[in-house]
Amino acid sequence: MEFLVILGHRLGPDNQPSPILIERLKQASAMYLSALGRAEQEATRLPYKGIIVTGGITHPKQTLSEAECMKRWLVLHGICEQDILCEFRARHTLENLINITTLVRERFGRRQHTDLLAVTHDWHAPRVINYWNRSRTLNRQGFTFSTLAMPTKLPLKDRVAQEMMNALSWVDPDRRSGAIIDYRKPKLA
């Protein structure tokens, strides 16, 4: 069983998908619709069980979750609503991963092996993979995870900021922001 996973990105004004999020949505929907067409033409099984969209409300002015926004966009662009699973609570990348594994387990049970293919950008993929491989709070058992890292046209200053976040995420992937490093020794109970 395999799912395409679209990782959220902060919404633009009026709860609309940002250009970065639209790139992810276009890529995932094209892959899904192409596979659907091939499966129908060849009378074979669709390689994807569905699409998982993940992302909550990440900005105080948002009134719509990233997942709901993505779901609406996908339905508007030809994806059947029943083929979309939504994770509405995640506020950052690590929560995306934790919540989608929980969602799949709750919906389909623990016994079935699941392949997750995350559609994201080249500047985001290293952080996603790092969180998947190194997080202590993520239960990876029964999952295979890979990313489709799309190139992006981010301005240099934004790309440098993203690369800094990726570098800091290697320090401790379970930190909420990835930018806060606590060097104090933990208190022993």
Instruction: Report the pLDDT value the prediction gives residue 178, as an integer from 0 to 100.
Output: 38
**DSSP run (H or E) holding 131:** helix 125-134
Nearest to 67 by CA among 79, 77, 58: 58
Q: What is the pLDDT of residues 136-159, one digit of tens each?
A: 777 788 888 889 888 877 666 666
pLDDT digits (tens, 9 = 90+) for 37-60: 888 878 777 778 899 999 999 888
Q: What per-residue confidence (pLDDT) applies to 179?
A: 36
* DSSP for residue 82: G
Q: What distance in Å separates the CA atoms of residue 52 and residue 71, rounded to the nearest whole number?
A: 9
In Å, how far are 5, 33, 166 from 50, measured between CA atoms? 9, 11, 28
Phi-psi region of 8 (alpha: psi -120 to 50; beta: other; left: phi over 0): beta
Instruction: Note if the pTM is more than 0.85.
Output: no
Low-confidence ranges of the chain (pLDDT < 50): 170, 175-189
Cα separations (Å) of 146 from 92, 118, 133, 135, 165?
18, 6, 11, 15, 20
Q: Can you give the pLDDT at residue 70?
A: 97
- What is the predicted pLDDT for the residue at 77? 95
Is residue 42 within 8 Å of residue 51, measured between CB atoms? no
The pLDDT assigned to 46 comes to 78
> Distance between CA atoms of 115 and 127, rounded to whole angstroms?
19
Amino acid occupying residue 94: L
